[in-house]
């Protein structure tokens, strides 16, 4: 099944199934190989398994030193770095695990255990982690930079200026010289804060809060536009289909969230999988208000102010909470929750571009190596 988005053709392609059902894993690309790291099995038990996607099958690679779910992932200096996450006692991990392509080692320890950390690579040798939830279940505002230069045996960690708002499970995106920290949670409540950290000036800027903060919402950034879609609002029953947009090409002092009824999703849901490519925001699957996974996919062209969300051909099977990965030409969905519970199924959306098309975001965004400009 295929579809067209402007100068881009998209096509659904089934991938080899995992050896076992997987959820709450993390994914990364190293040396042009895709790795699925840790997570939970069909029974919800944490695993230390690491799989590598070869051409037509998954191969079990060197395992993590300990079972681990949802670590923050950085790929720098030719290594995968897994930071924090959830360990077997369902506590926050304080470990920094490093994979060099052959083996995992515990490189160092964080000052405290943290889960729900956000991470973004800013160059081939640098990355930044933000926020998280500590052992006391309180949200953190900490920001740390890791630098691992080629030839150095060990990385260097530096504490940066804390976030103005403490939170965990936040979304981050790199746009120009700034990292945008969007939403998240503090305790059981969704956070509406939007803040940007200027990497060169080493300073934070606060933007207007999300009008209606939601948990389990969709997030994207393309063509200088932040998108927060659907999710679960505090003190409301069921998922909503409201979508809000923030133009980050303007100054924070004059930029405002916009959202109209015509920009809403066609179907209310949460825990969707999303990707952004060449000005298009794509929302896939998720959980409906009947509690079942969805097979719907909707998209909107952020280049056109008058555009609306439009349906695309349904995804291969209903899916929510999958582990996702965006590469240069594909958006992958691994495992997650299907209509039959935890699944081992995988598929990707393969994107083929007009080679003569120059993307706006290729010029505006600085993106980590191996990640497609959004």
At 89 the pLDDT is 80
Mean pLDDT for 314-321 is 97
Residues 26, 166: Cα–Cα separation, whole Å = 23
Q: Where are the domains of the chain?
A: 1-17+252-368, 20-207
Mean pLDDT for 58-66 is 97
At 262 the pLDDT is 66
Buried b (16+ CB within 10 A) or exposed e, 243-270: bbbbebeeeeeebebebeeebbbebbbb
Could you tell me the CA-to-CA distances from 239 to 214, 217, 288, 293 in Å, in that order? 9, 9, 7, 13
With a cut of 70, say whether residue 257 has pLDDT above it: yes
CATH number for the region 20-207 comes to 2.120.10.80
Mean pLDDT (the chain) is 92
Mean pLDDT for 244-250 is 93
Tokens 């998108």 belong to 227
Residues 368, 205: Cα–Cα separation, whole Å = 22
The top-level CATH class assigned to 1-17+252-368 is: mainly beta
Mean pLDDT for 256-277 is 89
Mean pLDDT for 337-348 is 97
Q: Please tell me whether residue 255 adopts helix, strand or coil conformation.
A: coil
- pTM as predicted: 0.92
Could you tell me the CA-to-CA distances from 299 to 10, 67, 116, 229 in Å, in that order? 12, 37, 27, 11
With a cut of 90, say whether residue 114 has pLDDT above it: yes
pLDDT tens sequence across 158-187: 999 999 999 999 999 999 999 999 999 999
pLDDT tens sequence across 24-46: 999 999 999 999 999 999 999 99
- The answer to whether domain 1-17+252-368 and domain 20-207 are alike in fold is yes
Q: Please tell me whether residue 263 adopts helix, strand or coil conformation.
A: helix
């Amino acid at each position: 099944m295929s579809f067209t988005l402007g100068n881009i053709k998209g096509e659904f392609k089934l991938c080899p199934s995992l050896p076992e059902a997987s959820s709450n894993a993390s994914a990364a690309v190293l040396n042009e190989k895709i790795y699925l790291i840790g997570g939970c099995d069909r029974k919800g038990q944490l695993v230390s398994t690491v799989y590598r996607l070869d051409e037509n099958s998954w191969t079990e690679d060197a395992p993590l030193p300990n079972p681990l779910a949802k670590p923050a992932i950085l790929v720098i200096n030719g290594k995968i770095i897994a930071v924090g996450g959830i360990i077997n006692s369902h506590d926050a991990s304080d470990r920094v695990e490093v994979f060099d392509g052959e083996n995992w080692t515990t490189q160092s320890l964080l000052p405290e255990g943290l889960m729900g950390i956000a991470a973004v690579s800013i160059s081939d040798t640098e990355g930044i982690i933000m926020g998280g939830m500590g052992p006391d279940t309180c949200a953190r505002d900490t920001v740390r930079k890791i630098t691992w230069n080629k030839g150095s045996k060990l990385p260097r960690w530096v504490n940066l200026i804390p976030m103005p708002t403490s939170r965990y499970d936040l979304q981050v995106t790199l746009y120009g010289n700034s990292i945008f920290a969007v939403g998240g949670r503090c305790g059981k409540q969704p956070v509406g804060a939007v803040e940007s950290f200027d990497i060169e000036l080493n300073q934070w800027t606060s933007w207007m809060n999300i009008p209606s903060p939601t948990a389990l919402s969709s997030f994207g950034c393309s063509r200088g536009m932040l998108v927060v879609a659907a999710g679960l609002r505090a003190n409301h029953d069921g998922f909503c289909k409201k979508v809000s947009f923030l133009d980050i090409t303007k100054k924070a002092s004059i930029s405002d969230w916009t959202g109209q009824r015509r920009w809403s999703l066609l179907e209310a849901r949460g825990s969707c999988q999303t990707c952004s490519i060449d000005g298009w925001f794509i929302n896939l699957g998720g959980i409906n208000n009947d509690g079942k996974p969805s097979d719907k996919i909707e998209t909107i062209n952020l280049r056109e102010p008058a555009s609306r969300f439009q349906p695309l051909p349904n995804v291969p099977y209903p899916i929510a909470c999958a582990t996702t990965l965006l590469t240069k030409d594909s958006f992958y969905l691994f495992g997650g929750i299907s209509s039959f519970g935890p699944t081992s199924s995988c598929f990707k959306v393969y994107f083929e571009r007009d080679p003569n098309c120059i993307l706006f975001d290729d010029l505006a965004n600085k993106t980590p190596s191996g990640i497609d400009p959004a």
